[in-house]
Chains A and B, each alone.
Chain A
């Protein structure tokens, strides 16, 4: 694993922000962190960056201890904070100049191309005269221009319009195709569903679920209204499906994989109506955070 944490815990007095968190991300993988505010997403990312000393447990990137070897770790990571603040005395081009000088692996040409051509920023505009979205774009440009094996983005699209969000998703896809590992946190479930290989759901500082998105895409939910009794399930289904029958003939079936075998059986049922839909990350997230689902 390129990124690993083992029983990582971070406490502030009585409050535990991250509680025995263990996960890993391999090279070239895009991992999305989902959870409401206070779930521990930012604490996890800031611990990976070595900004916070773990109370217990361990975090490593490329085999290097994130806290004790943070200098070496930072050579391998490009990081965008959740609330990216830039130097208020500088103009856009000076910000780019700083970040492309401070590290040798940051390409000025790529940063300028991203900032000016792709995001449409004005190089002479002062940071103080920029909107929150513009500052976020500039921070994204200097972060994504770095050629590091790992990119960590903490809510990168939080201040961006839908067009820019799509652009960020495309940039993450580009990073993945270049073989880079990407970890990013978000409140926007559709975004994670769109670009990630794996989603991790956090609650109260704990990892409550890990979901491979390709597996999730095979899962379907079938909602049906029966007009007669439900016949017994064929033995070939092997008990892999979940079936819930309501009193008024409502039927809810959740299937983990291939639908073709089931469609034939469905056709034999006394159906008034039927609706087949992918389970989706939203429904999964709802299981762990029932009142906090983002509809973005």
Chain B
């Protein structure tokens, strides 16, 4: 791989990654701090007054919410956290092809003895490494929080690894999706618009599927369904399995969720590579 391509890719996105990582660390540290405000007993007391119907709308069950680990885990499903990984994945994925085409710099890059696959590879690997750094920063925030804040019920930092992994899985999915759309278009704004539309529809499908009785099947059409990082924390036997069978019921485990998201993300990358290597390169726009 060409060193100049790596350097250029990293330099272009270093501030976004640095800022995102600091923010991710801070959010998770704050989650631990907020969790320290309530003891397990007071939390159980509060939850005992809550109606059963509300439980379905919460990110975790009442049982999990009563534990310190359960309350910290909500941080991995926090809208800000999801926004951060989405911004990273979509910004990098959309920039990979349509961004360079849009700015007109792709022609100068590809006039050099570099392959299209090489350009895609350097961008793609850096996007995935950056995603891992972001999720690692989240995990580090939790770890530092657990080490520096006194909690009524201490939690083991390793409980949160499946949540960080699930967060990383959705980052890979979104980066792959954005890169694939990027390979099909010439305008970065169009890429962001298409991915944004898909994102919004998926979110609506999951909300309706979760909230409306009789519409549960809609959740299967949403890529947010295998994204439940908070639900993978502290639930024995679920985090590190692909699926769970209990009698007639079947449910995916944490590794099953991650496999679906990462698998789809990688398939999108392969499609992007095929499209990009075969397509005509438009003149600078």
Using a CB–CB distance below 8 Å, which chain A residues touch chain B?
42, 46, 49, 51-53, 71-72, 74-75, 77-79, 81-89, 97-99, 101-103, 139
Contact = CB atoms under 8 A, between A and B. Distances in A.
A103 B115 CA distance: 12
A184 to B, nearest CB: 15
Nearest to A95: B108
Given A86-B105, A102-B5, 8 more contacts: A53-B278, A71-B115, A74-B112, A79-B111, A81-B108, A83-B283, A87-B8, A101-B7
Contacts of B5: 102
A166 B101 CA distance: 31
10 contacts: A51-B107, A51-B280, A71-B114, A74-B112, A81-B107, A85-B284, A87-B105, A97-B4, A101-B3, A139-B108
Contacts of B281: 46, 51-52
Interface of B: 2-5, 7-8, 11-12, 103-105, 107-115, 278, 280-281, 283-284
A74 to B, nearest CB: 4
A65 B160 CA distance: 54
A74 B113 contact: yes
Contacts of B113: 71-72, 74-75, 102-103
Contact of B112 (A42, A82, A83, A99): A99
Contacts of A86: 105, 108
A202 B270 CA distance: 40
Nearest to A72: B113
Q: A71, A72, A78, A82 — which one has the most chain B CB atoms within 10 A of its CB? A: A71
Contact of A98 (B8, B103, B111, B284): B8
A88 B107 contact: no
Nearest to A10: B280
A86 B111 CA distance: 13
Contacts of B111: 49, 74, 77-79, 81
Contacts of A79: 111
A83 B280 contact: no
A55 to B, nearest CB: 10
B280 A52 contact: yes
A191 B259 CA distance: 61
A98 B2 CA distance: 11
Contacts of A85: 103-105, 107-108, 284
A59 to B, nearest CB: 14
B186 to A, nearest CB: 13
A88 B95 CA distance: 14
Nearest to B115: A71
A67 to B, nearest CB: 10
Nearest to A12: B280
A50 B4 CA distance: 22
B283 A89 contact: no
A44 to B, nearest CB: 13
B255 to A, nearest CB: 39
A99 B107 CA distance: 13
Nearest to A105: B113
Question: What are the 10 tightest A-B residue pairs by CB atom distance, in nearest-first order?
Answer: A85-B104, A101-B4, A102-B4, A51-B281, A79-B111, A74-B113, A83-B284, A75-B113, A102-B112, A81-B107
A51 B3 CA distance: 23
A134 to B, nearest CB: 16
A53 B277 CA distance: 11
Contacts of B11: 89
B156 to A, nearest CB: 43
Nearest to A84: B108
Nearest to A82: B283
A89 B107 contact: no
A72 B115 CA distance: 10
Nearest to B3: A101
Contacts of A78: 111
Nearest to B112: A102
Contacts of A98: 4, 7-8
Nearest to A80: B111
Contact of A53 (B103, B104, B105, B280): B280
A75 B115 CA distance: 11
Contacts of A99: 4, 112
Nearest to A49: B111
A89 B12 contact: yes
Nearest to A75: B113
A74 B112 CA distance: 6
Q: B7, B114, B283 — which one has the most chain A CB atoms within 10 A of its CB? A: B283
Given A51-B107, A74-B111, A87-B105, A102 B2 contact: yes
A51 B105 CA distance: 13
Nearest to B281: A51
B115 A83 contact: no
A49 B108 CA distance: 11
